[in-house]
Amino acid sequence: MHRTCDCCAQTGLRLGRRHLLFGAAGVLAATALPSGGAQAASPVAKTQLSPADALRLMKDGNENFRNEAPSLAANGRERRLELARGQAPFCVLVGCSDSRVSPEILFGRGLGELFIVRNAGNTVDTAALGSIEYAVGVLGVPLVIVLGHQSCGAVAAAVDVVQTNATFPGVIGEMVQPIVPAVLEAKAQGGDLLEASVRSNARRVAKRLTTQSLVIKDALNAGTVKVVGARYGLSDGHVEWMEDI
């Protein structure tokens, strides 16, 4: 029986993460524009909400959250059975991994309504971009929100890189590098650097989606999707919207 040598095994482990990152995104991007439809990926009817209607639902949901209105989100047995046949979300939420920023709660949404992509600093790498393209291109999602938040740790780390040339263990430094341009942009504007950087980062990521993704650009040209930036306040629960992307 053939045995893999230790050297080969270690090499495979090193390469596995990179292959998973780019391979998964490639599969999703390829699926986004299938020649024969996407019945297997989306066996139920897509949402009929317009981009404007979808954004209004998210705004209303945040207002209800702030006012502590009773949640009307559908999360029960009937909803679970309905979703077992397929999904038809109406919003892609690109957010931060921060435990205080749970999208369904902040916007009062239920199962199957939000297609969520989360990582520290709400940045978009290849895998995240492929996921967003899948939601827009295959599932027909009409709204993409890039949500930054008050006192974001990943953005604060990027601020430290700019101000003190800080270093971090592991790959944390690599993770915050894409945020550094947002910090430099905010620094040139003056004011509270961290909060300005949070807004700048959300806006830049949203803008990048509209310019670097052919799937999203096609949907924008067709008027079937809207991309906005946003900033969530931890202390007051308010979402500030940046729609002029």
Q: Does residue 22 register a pLDDT over 50? A: no
Per-residue pLDDT, 203 = 98
Cβ atoms of 240 and 230 within 8 Å: the answer is: yes
Per-residue pLDDT, 74 = 87
**pLDDT-above-90 percentage for the chain:** 76
What's the CA gap between 23 and 39, in Å, rounded? 22
Query: How far from the centroid of its chain's Cα atoms is residue 181's Cα?
Result: 19
Mean model confidence pLDDT for the chain: 87
Per-residue pLDDT, 40 = 46
What's the CA gap between 116 and 91, in Å, rounded? 8
The pTM assigned to this predicted structure is: 0.82
The per-residue pLDDT for range 109-124, each reduced to its tens digit, is: 999 999 999 999 999 9
Average pLDDT over residues 55-61: 98
Per-residue pLDDT, 43 = 60
Start-to-end CA distance of the chain, whole Å, equals 59
The per-residue pLDDT for range 65-107, each reduced to its tens digit, is: 999 998 888 889 999 998 999 999 999 999 999 999 999 999 9
Q: Does residue 20 register a pLDDT over 80? A: no
Average pLDDT over residues 24-50: 57
Per-residue pLDDT, 25 = 42
Average pLDDT over residues 23-50: 57
Per-residue pLDDT, 14 = 41
Per-residue pLDDT, 70 = 86
**pLDDT-above-70 percentage for the chain:** 82
Average pLDDT over residues 163-174: 97
